[in-house]
Amino acid sequence: MAVITYLDAISQALREEMRVDPNVFLMGEDIGVFGGAFKVTKGFIEEFGEERVIDTPISESGFTGAACGAAIMGLRPVVEFQFADFIACAFDQIVNFAAKCYYRWGIPVPIVLRCPSGGGFRGGPYHSQNPEAWFTHVAGLKVVQPSTPYDAKGLLKAAIRDNNPVIYFEHKHLYRRIREDVPVEDYEIPLGVADVKRDGSDLTLVTYGAMVHACLEVSKRLENDGASIEVVDLRSLAPLDETTILTSVRKTGKAMVVHEAHLTSGFGGEVASIITEHAWESLDAPVKRIASLDVPIPFSPPLEDAVLPTPDKIERAARELLEY
């Protein structure tokens, strides 16, 4: 075991998979000589060379299309979007080609799309989005979003080894803030398996990404008042582990879904619907959702704080549910 950051976990997963599988290669803007906007791929071009660590032009549609072509020929490209927001430029290649290629022609597209996402660092409206719900709506895509270094490394390894296109959201606000022990030996975390980060009996908080840490903080606060809060980290949005969600909610009788993306049409609505449809008789209160306001993410620090979910906002809503 070794204590590493969330960023180091991603970097290690990439490096280890490239060492064991010569078909794995990287593409993206400034990932080679510069080492990546966040230095995830620092030193990679020196170890693997420019044929496997490819600096691309500023053309997301172009290099994503090229990566799809490489994938159908048997290679395993890992594409880095400098910010998740820019994935919109490659929407057609991902949604209308990569997602449908196996269904239409029986040809696997083993591509991983790394998307540094999320706010909290004053990046403004073009560098702070959480667009995961765009892609969970598309059949043929897998979507994951880890919250810890252990999960980040294990999920990325599983994503690279998967024969389907996988969109891998990594919250950049966690990069250097979260550390934990991670095994030195090889491991992977299966896609589609949620994790109960904290056991409880009074209320279930269903969440993922950076909001896992906010929910864990709230659960500790409420524990001081005698409340027992269970925190379910989805980790994988597509495929989704409905069993873990429903098992938790049937135990606690109350549920709140928390995510950083905008509230309206966010993935939390799907989770709330699943709970309402399949665990209705176990509920002692309406399912609540906490998410960002339906506005572009502001650059101003006070305004961004007002828009994004915070532990204080989550705590207030949780107390309302506990008292219902």
Residues tagged active-site: 127
SS3 258: strand
Q: What share of the chain is helix, strand, coil (3-state, %, to 5)?
A: 40, 20, 40
**What DSSP letter does each residue of 156-178 carry, written as one string?**
HHHHHH-SS-EEEEEEGGGTTT-
What type of residue sits at position 305? D
How many Cα atoms sit within 13 Å of 69 on the Cβ side? 7
Report whether 138 contacts 126 (CB < 8 A).
no
| Contact between 61 and 97 (Cβ < 8 Å) | no
- Residue 100 sits at the vertex; the CA angle it makes with 51 and 88, to the nearest 5 degrees, is 65
AA letter at 299: F
The single-letter DSSP state of residue 106 is: S
Residue closest to 174 by CA, chosen among 135, 204, 202, 148: 148
Using left for φ > 0, alpha for ψ between -120 and 50, and beta otherwise, residue 197 falls in: alpha
Phi, psi at 80, each rounded to 5°: -105, 120
Would you state the structure tokens that stand for residue 229, as one six-digit string?
């809060």
Main-chain phi, psi angles of 261, to 5 degrees: -65, 165
Question: Rounded to a whole number, what is the distance in angstroms from the first to the last CA of the chain?
Answer: 44
